[in-house]
Structure 1
Amino acid sequence: MDLLEEYRRATVVFESGDPLGAARLLEPIVEAEPHNTAVRQLLARAYFNSAQLAGAETQLRALIERDPSDHYAHHVLGRTLERAGRFREALPHLRLAAAMKRHDDYEEALRRVEAWVGKNGGRAGPGAE
């Protein structure tokens, strides 16, 4: 299997709006190349976009373990935890991402989760899985 060609194919599939198809293509690549950050990040995004939140969390935690300064991985992990209704767990990751890099999406997610925690004490909310 040509891993680079499979990665390119998975990228096209992901960008065409098929995160499940992309994840199926990316899983064996991550298995073969576990330290490849770009592949693992795309797999995490594919899992997130297809609501496979446990898979996204696993991939993002692996990215952060390898590089704790990866602001994007912290942001997406925070968003994943938010989407799962785990607001208190999401906050540290969203705060780190916003502190490491000024980005409107990072700041918006942080404000949203801080507001939820402030109003609800971090309890799971609508759509929590």
Structure 2
Amino acid sequence: MDLLEEYRRATFFFESGDPLGAARLLEPIVAAEPGNAAVRQLLARAYFNSAQLAGAEAQLRALIEHDPSDHYAHHVLGRTLERAGRFREALPHLRLAAAMNNHGDYADALRRVETWLGKNDDGRGPQA
């Protein structure tokens, strides 16, 4: 298998709106090259975009373990946890990302989760 060619194909699938196809191509690349942060990040994004949140979380935690200063990985992990309704767990990652990089999306996500937690004391989401 030509890993570079497969990565290019996966990128094309991802950019064409097929995150599931991208993930299928990226999984064996990450297995073959576990230290390749760019491939792991794209796999995490493919999982996130296809609502495979557990997979996204696992890839993002691996990225953060390797490089705790990766603000983008913290942001996407926070967004993944937010999307899963795990607001209290999302908050520290979103705060770190916003502190490390002054990016509008980071600030917006942080505000959204802080507001949510302020309105819902238990941080578990809407009340039934």
Instruction: Determine the structure 1 residue equivalent to 2:120.
Output: 120
Q: CA deviation at 1:90?
A: 0.2
User: What residue identity is the alignment partner of 1:53?
Assistant: L
Deviations 1:76-98 (A, max 9, x none): 00000000000000000000000
Give the aligned partner of residue 13 of structure 1. Answer: 13
How far 1:33 sits from its partner (Å)? 0.2
1:35-114 superposed matches below 5 A: 35-114=35-114
CA shift at 1:125, angstroms?
A: 2.1
Task: After TM superposition, give the deviation of residue 122 of structure 1 in Å.
Answer: 4.2
Separation of aligned partners in 2, 1:61 and 1:112: 22
Q: Which sections of structure 1, spanning at least 5 residues, go unmatched?
A: none
How many percent identity over aligned positions?
Answer: 86
**What is the alpha-carbon root mean square deviation over aligned residues?**
0.8
Give, in whole Å, the separation in 2 of the partners of 1:18 and 1:97: 27
Q: What does the per-residue CA deviation read over 1:10-68, in whole Å, with 9 as the maximum and x for residues that have no partner? A: 00000000000000000000000000000000000000000000000000000000000
Give TM-score scaled by structure 2 length: 0.97
Alignment coverage as a number of residue pairs: 126
In 1, the alpha carbon distance for the partners of 2:113 and 2:122 equals 9
Maintained 8 Å contact 1:75/1:93 = yes
Unpaired runs of 5+ residues, structure 2, are none
